[in-house]
Amino acid sequence: MRPLCTSRPLIRLCGSLGIHYVDRGKESCKWSTVYCAKHCYYRKFLRYPQMKGYLQRASFAWEYIEPSHLLNISRLRLCKVGDPFTNEYDINRIKALAQAAPNTLIWAPTRAWRSPILRELLKPSSLPINLKVLASIDPSNTTEEVKSLQQDGWSTMFFGDDIRHPTGKSYKCPKTWQKIHKFCSRCTNGCFKNERVDVWLRKH
């Protein structure tokens, strides 16, 4: 195992979600839309000086995550801040991580589907069963884009409009709509569902 050069834990527990998570720096959000960047819920935290240091540590810690760190973790989010997939290396690394830790469900919302190359590498049929990759979408994405994702078997996670969902039929996230504390730790019909699903998040 590589040495850990930070006093912060690599993987942290999110009290409101009830599951563990890993963050990485905002520079990983290379596939975000203009809408996503403008309405990112983390913007309100970035006004605090200590957040810059936190994100720098998160970027560092990201490089040190190994299967042994997931031994006692049942569910993991990649990421609350940042995108888990910036390139082919990230995809191969996370697939390998999921395969090496089959008892850990890994939830990975991403905008990497906007890259034709990464979209092909992340096609649902190529993923380990415990790696739940969802295409993150917002009101700026077109109907054609969303339909194309669905046709290719992608699950989606929509944020940005509490009145209308682009797919019509969707699963309203109980954590965000009903404010059910720690619901992510036991959810089976949303982001952790084994079948394809369209998840609708309420605006923060």
pLDDT in tens, 90-110: 999 999 999 999 999 999 999
Query: H helices within 80-190, ranges in order?
Result: 88-100, 116-121, 143-151, 174-177
Q: What is the pLDDT at residue 59?
A: 80
Q: Give residue 86's identity as a one-letter amino acid code.
A: T
Q: Please tell me the least confidently modeled range out of 2-6, 37-41, 69-73, 111-115.
A: 2-6
Q: How confident is the model at residue 46 (pLDDT cuts 50, 70, 90)?
A: low
Q: Give residue 163's identity as a one-letter amino acid code.
A: I
- Check pLDDT > 60 for residue 5: no
- Check pLDDT > 90 for residue 26: no
Q: What is the pLDDT at residue 167?
A: 85
Identify the residue with better confidence: 125 or 60.
125
Cβ pair 128, 98 in contact under 8 A: yes
Q: How far apart, in Å, are the Cα atoms of 93 and each of 37, 84, 88? A: 26, 10, 8
Q: What is the pLDDT at residue 122?
A: 98
Alpha-carbon gap, residue 2 to 102, rounded angstroms: 21
Alpha-carbon gap, residue 180 to 116, rounded angstroms: 36
Q: How confident is the model at residue 6 (pLDDT cuts 50, 70, 90)?
A: very low
Q: How confident is the model at residue 86 (pLDDT cuts 50, 70, 90)?
A: very high
What does the mean pLDDT of the chain come to? 90
Q: How many CA within 13 A on the CB side of residue 118?
A: 20
Q: What is the pLDDT at residue 156?
A: 98
Q: How confident is the model at residue 45 (pLDDT cuts 50, 70, 90)?
A: low
